[in-house]
Amino acid sequence: MIFWTLTGALALAVSAAIGAALMRGRVGDAPPAAYDIGVYRDQLREVERDQARGVLTEAEAGRVRTEVSRRILAADAQLQRGGETGGQPPVAGRIVFALATLALVGGSLALYSRIGAPGYPDLPREARLAASDEARSARLSQAEAEARALPAPAQPEPAPEFAELMDKLRAAMQENPDDPRGLQLLARNEAMLGNTSAAIAAQSRLIEVSGPAARADDYAFLADLMVTAANGYVSAEAETTLRTALERDPGNQTARYYLGLYLAQVDRPDAAFRLWDGLLKDSPADAPWVPLIRDALPELASMAGVKYQLPPPGDTAGPSAADVKAAGAMSAADRMEMIRGMVAGLSDRLANEGGTAEEWAQLISAYGVLGETERAKAIWGEAQEVFATRPEDLETVRAGAIRAGVAQ
């Protein structure tokens, strides 16, 4: 309501200024004809000076005086007819004033009602964060999300040979339910057949059997299955699974994509933008999530208040196939030098342009692998200042510092 009041008051103030000029019929302190008379009198004095200097002859000066005097008489007659308003018709002035007021006040309010958010309350940062926290705490469980999801489209019948192999695999897993290799095959093939619930059960069992040896990819694939089963909804359990994957590997791209989706769903466009912007830079051009995040990034940036220019398609930061092939042909010393150059490039970019928490974690971890513990420790100290107000991002960076051996 405050915004509407201020907008209306400003529009009325501008309308009043325009109306005062219309009703007065003049811009300055005197009518236009009075200004003309003053100019003509200055011209008469100028004629006298030109004649005295010999620029004009007496005959020429007389002709100019006659013409200027005629103009003075005409302006004086106009002044007498128009009075202080300069002859401005009062009725026309009032009509124009009313139309200007209607256009300014009504037009501004009508425009805001179309492109603005009438009745929308103020949303300071604290209120938005509180609303996001509430959305997180109210996330549906995986079971609730699956119950609300639309039925999956019917899958085509598998080939008889494949169906027979799947029956044998299922029978074998019943006899040996803790075989990691069998669980992995079962989860992947059940997912391929569209049996998402069975795939989730097999993948969950694989992680349970693997224990601490479970990889980031195992958790990321489980989260992928969970989100698929919930028709794109990232449940509370799926979020936990994603964060576990990123604890093991902050650079895991599947987990980064789905965590960005989760952040967008809990009304954190700022965090989702940072995560997906970094993911787009790290991803190969043919990654399945690239078209999705390219479509979403401009809107996320707008919602986050970030001035953003979407890079051209295919412009990613990941190494090309030629780079990988060249690295394979290098000596160990040359390959290490190339790695150091890539790490230094990442360090420079984070220092000059900033980056995501995952990129900071990757940099710290990389320096730990290279044995540059002091450098890793210095960057970890800097990251604690950068992410001091973002505890979740700070925990992501801490995971990288732990791997580098510079944090507890």
Quickly tell me which residue has 């979740």 as its tokens.
392
Q: Which tens digits make up the pLDDT trace of 59-78?
A: 888 888 899 888 888 877 87
Token pair, residue 33, equals 């004809």
DSSP letter string over 23-58? HH--SSSS-HHHHHHHHHHHHHHHHHHHHHTTSS-H
Q: Which tens digits make up the pLDDT trace of 27-47?
A: 556 666 677 788 888 888 888
What number of other Cβ atoms are within 10 A of residue 219's Cβ? 25
* Whole-angstrom distance, CA of residue 105 vs CA of residue 8: 6
Token pair, residue 301, equals 């940036």
Q: Which tens digits make up the pLDDT trace of 231-288?
A: 999 999 999 999 999 999 998 999 999 999 999 998 888 889 999 998 998 888 778 8
Q: Which tens digits make up the pLDDT trace of 164-195?
A: 989 999 999 999 999 999 999 999 999 888 89
| pLDDT score, position 318 | 44
Q: Which of 131-140, 199-208, 262-271, 353-362 has the largest mean confidence?
A: 199-208
Give the residue-averaged pLDDT of 298-307. 87
Residue 66 C-beta-side C-alpha neighbours within 13 Å: 6
| pLDDT score, position 329 | 57
| pLDDT score, position 400 | 84
| pLDDT score, position 319 | 46
- Res. 315 pLDDT band, cuts 50 70 90: very low
Of 5 and 218, which is predicted with more confidence? 218
Give the residue-averaged pLDDT of 87-114. 72
Q: pTM of the prediction?
A: 0.53
Token pair, residue 110, equals 């009508």
* Whole-angstrom distance, CA of residue 296 vs CA of residue 232: 15
